[in-house]
Amino acid sequence: MSTLLYRLGRFAYRRKWSVIGAWSVLLLVAVVAALGLMRPFASATTIPGTEAQRTLDVVRAKFPTDDTHTTGKIVFRAPDGATVSAGDSVKTVRRTVDEVADVPGVTAATAPDVKAGTVSADGGTGIAQLTFSTKKGDALPEATQAGVEKAAAEARRAGLTVELGGDAFSQSKVEVMGPGEAVGVLIALGVLVFVFRSLRAAVVPVATALVGVAVGVLGLMSLTSVVTMDSTSIILAVMLGLAVGIDYALFIVSRHQTQVRGGMDPEESAGLATGTAGGAVVFAGATVVIALAALSVVNIPFLTVMGLGAAATVVVSVLIAVTLLPAVLGLMGGRIATSTVPVLRHSTERAARRTDRPATGVRWATLVARRRWTVLVVSLLGLGILALPAADLRLGLGGTQDPDTSAARAQKLVDDGFGPGYSGTLVVLVQGGEKAVSSAAGELTSTVKRLPGVAAVSPVVPAKSGDAALISVTPASGPETEATKGVLAEIRHARDAVEDRTGTAVDVTGTTAVNIDVADKLSAALPVYCLLVMGLALVLLIVVFRAVAVPLKAALGFLLSLGASLGAMVAVFQWGWLSGLLGIKETGPVLSFLPMLLVGILFGLAMDYEVFLVSRMREEYAHGRTAADAMIRGFGHGSKVVTAAALIMIAVFGSFVFADMQVIKGMGFALGIGVLLDAFVVRMALVPAVMAVLGDRAWWLPRFLRRVLPDVDIEGERLTRRMNGAPSAAVAPPGRSGTERIAVRSGGGGA
């Protein structure tokens, strides 16, 4: 692979204008496709085959309604001591509803009605139902929205509290690059300037990453015409594309700049950097892609789309890194090694003169080796303490609405006036013969009314066919609470006796039931997914490092950083610690799909850092150095670029914490804290400490595995040796002398 990437890098360097032109055309095609094919985002939280989803499909068939158009609601709250169904308030409500009914694009507007159950028990809150001519999922025309908002504003001036809610007013605008994200990019640029000591070299990774994000995201937007896609999928693609795009370019440009400063021809250097560091980039990208694509095995459509969309953006980032990046380096030529900024130029010269002082990474690794047991114990205790809150992890799908929006305020008015369970109704479907259905529905209604946590049970609604009936159950608690989950479980438990006596089939559905089933399915699938990812990690790393202990250490370190990240998530988003500082306005269950996304993405990034740190240790060990010396020297070579890469990731992910949507805040925080813990605690502290403890045993590999495993040259060591005219070295089993370890074999090599 390294030879192929070497040739590709040199080709892109020589044919720079052709490569840049090809990517420009691809970007233009993506823009045109997005403009012509993009459709509004829509959420589809479904699990094929689950009881709630299967029952929901039956309800739609037996109780048909026109749900093809967008709906909304106006929530009115009368002043204290007044009601929306009497006095001046009712006049204002009716006038407002009549005005809204005349707005172009509004096909129906129904005023609050006590009999219809749209006026609260105290009479202070009422809900007007709206239907629009707009197709469901499409955004309201600006004129229609402005007309409704104008009528609502007039009602507010009359003394009522009025908010707009429902699907029509809950659609969030997607900001691909808001102010927070721009700050994250600027921080990343600052880190790159520090690493490269050159402003123009620092701009290259950011520029190529932005191109990759643009191509990937625009491509995803064009697919909304054929695939149901949530706006969260786009934000995740932007977040991940920016982070990995900058990081992957950093690895290659850092290698290239060092080689050019050392006197290598720029074209040869670009090819060699692509063949060596580019190999690690391809490996890292492949692990992220595989982990994200593996989300499809959970069989939840919205999670599959999210995972595949993010994976596609990572693929584009890898392709950019090994093609467009060398072409851009061709534009710069030898100037990549210099800087026109005096401060940066003098900094480079001072660094070149300081050859007698060990690098910071070497000094740190030496300290860790000397205090390995202390570092090991402190790191394990710290990660373990951070992971403790994860024991209280609760998953849910709510909390995605910005509390400052009118839709969120409307929901709060509904919850305060009608009770938190009003919007989380559970729907019970009874099917069977006409007499049996009637008997079962009556018996079930009586049983459910007596269950704890049930606020109300609606009258039975029979189907026209007579073979089915619906019962709506309103819990006393909100949709995301454990109490409502308990009510659902009690209803499903109580139905068994009714089914046996009446010969009917009883199932429970509704949006709340679907969401609970989604969370339960994800909770059950998370351990299986973790085992799948961990198994993949062990296999890949055993092949890469040709050792057993190193992959086991890497996998266990990943589990530690994952547990600590989940613990931090629970403490902040569920318990509310530091929530004010991070702008988190509402606490509640952790988003049900977030742990899986965290596993997939953090796994790829952790393996990335592991390869860059440990592969150089393996190379030094293969050259005959002692295990301790190899660890220190290898860590010294790789720590700087891994530190810079982690800081960039944290800056990009952390910038999304200040987004308006709770789901985006959660994703940004989880990924940012995950990278922080994995890079600076696991890879920078635990890895050198464990390697120092293991010594030669870290590189042990059973003989039968040594014979059957392929020799993967991730870092392009064989390519480097061939170019330098040196033979390849193979790692001999521990316990042999340094001379024996430098055993030359045909086709050998390191990682």
Number of H helices, E strands in the chain: 26, 13
**Max avg pLDDT among 479-488, 573-582, 592-601, 726-735:** 479-488
The amino acid at 661: M
pLDDT range class, residue 355, cuts 50, 70, 90: low
Q: Is 404 exposed, middle or buried (0-12, 13-18, 19+ CB in 10 A)?
A: exposed
- Nearest CA to 315 out of 181, 435, 443, 215 is that of 215
Q: How sure is the predictor about 69, in pLDDT bands with cuts at 50, 70 and 90?
A: confident
What is the pLDDT, as a whole number, of residue 21? 95
pLDDT of 345 reads 62
Where is pLDDT greater, at 400 or 312?
312
Q: Determine if residue 127 is left, alpha or beta; phi over 0 gives left, psi from -120 to 50 gives alpha, anything else beta.
A: beta
121-136 b/e with 16+ CB inside 10 Å = b? eebbbbbbbbbbebee
Closest CA to 169 of 402, 397, 398: 402
* Backbone torsion region of residue 197, taken as left when φ is above 0, otherwise alpha when ψ lies between -120 and 50, otherwise beta: left
**Of 512, 527, 522, 440, nearest in space to 480 by CA:** 512
Bigger pLDDT: 613 or 717?
A: 613
CA–CA gap between residue 272 and residue 724 (Å, rounded): 11
SS3 of 218-246: the string is HHHHHHHHCCCCCHHHHHHHHHHHHHHHH
Q: If you average pLDDT over every residue of the chain, what do you get? A: 84
Mean pLDDT of 125-131: 94
Residues 6+ apart with CB under 8 A from 616: 633, 634, 635, 637, 638, 715
d(CA 130, CA 372): 67
Per-residue CA distances from 434 to 438, 442, 463, 468, 471 (Å): 6, 13, 10, 7, 15
In DSSP notation, 532-552 reads HHHHHHHHHHHHHHS-SHHHH
Stated as kind and residue range, the H or E segment containing 555 is helix 549-569
Q: What is the mean pLDDT of residues 660-677?
A: 85
* Separation in Å, CA 539 to CA 315, 460, 599: 22, 57, 17
Residue 262: predicted pLDDT: 83
Residues of the chain above pLDDT 90, percent: 35
The pLDDT of residue 399 is 52
| Whole-angstrom distance, CA of residue 106 vs CA of residue 330 | 58
Cα atoms found within 13 Å of the Cα of residue 516, Cβ hemisphere only: 23
314's CB contacts (< 8 A; 6+ apart) are 240, 241, 244, 285, 288, 289, 292, 604
**Is residue 102 over pLDDT 60?**
yes
In the chain, the largest separation of any two C-alpha atoms, in whole Å, equals 98
Is pLDDT of 92 > 90?
A: yes
Mean pLDDT of 382-403: 80
The pairing of strands 395-396 and 590-591 is: parallel
- Predicted confidence at residue 400, as pLDDT, reads 52
Q: 167, 137, 144, 132: which is closest to 39 by C-alpha?
A: 137
Backbone angles phi, psi at 626, to 5 degrees: -65, 160
Q: Which of 192-196, 448-452, 484-488 has the lowest mean pLDDT?
A: 192-196
**What gap in Å lies between CA 490 and CA 499, rounded to an integer?**
15
pLDDT range class, residue 724, cuts 50, 70, 90: low
Which of 233-237, 291-295, 305-309, 345-349 is predicted with the least confidence, judged by mean pLDDT? 345-349
Which single residue is written with the structure tokens 């990731």? 649
Report the pLDDT value the prediction gives residue 303, as an integer from 0 to 100. Answer: 82
List phi, psi (to 5°) of 428: -100, 125
pLDDT at 349 over 70: no
Confidence of residue 637 (pLDDT cuts 50, 70, 90): confident
Q: Residue 148: pLDDT band by 50, 70, 90 thresholds? A: very high
Give φ, ψ of 198 to 5 degrees: -160, 125
Between these two residues, 635 and 707, which has the higher pLDDT value? 635
Residue 480: predicted pLDDT: 80
Q: Are 215 and 316 in contact (CB under 8 A)?
A: yes
**Per-residue model confidence (pLDDT) at position 710:** 79
| pLDDT tier at 346, thresholds 50, 70, 90 | low
pLDDT of residue 373: 95
Q: CA 750, CA 544: separation in Å to the nearest integer?
A: 8
The pLDDT assigned to 680 comes to 92
Across the range 716-722, mean pLDDT stands at 65
Q: Which of 511, 742, 714 is nearest to 614 (CA)?
A: 714
Question: Six-digit token pair at 118?
Answer: 């749209």
Indicate the DSSP class of residue 688: H
pLDDT of residue 66: 67
User: Which residue would you say has higher pLDDT here, 72 or 708?
Assistant: 72
Q: How far apart are CA 133 and CA 66, in angstroms?
A: 11
For 605-631, what is each residue's pLDDT tens digit? Answer: 787 788 778 877 887 887 788 989 989
Burial class (CB in 10 A: 0-12, 13-18, 19+), 723: middle
Task: Sheet containing 161-165: give its strands across.
Answer: 106-110, 125-135, 69-77, 161-165
Res 56: pLDDT: 86
Would you state the pLDDT for residue 327? 95
Least confident of 232-241, 377-386, 527-536: 527-536
Cα angle value 283/683/199 (rounded, 5°)? 70
Three-state SS for 531? Answer: helix
The confidence score (pLDDT) of residue 722 equals 66
Segment 271-287 mean pLDDT: 85
The residues pairing with 429 across neighbouring beta strands, listed in sequence order, are 470, 507
Residues whose CB is less than 8 angstroms from the CB of residue 41 and which lie 6 or more positions away in sequence, other chains included: 171, 174, 224, 229, 230, 231, 234
With contact defined as beta carbons under 8 Å apart, do 246 and 189 qualify?
no
- Residue pair 8/322 in contact by the 8 Å Cβ criterion: yes
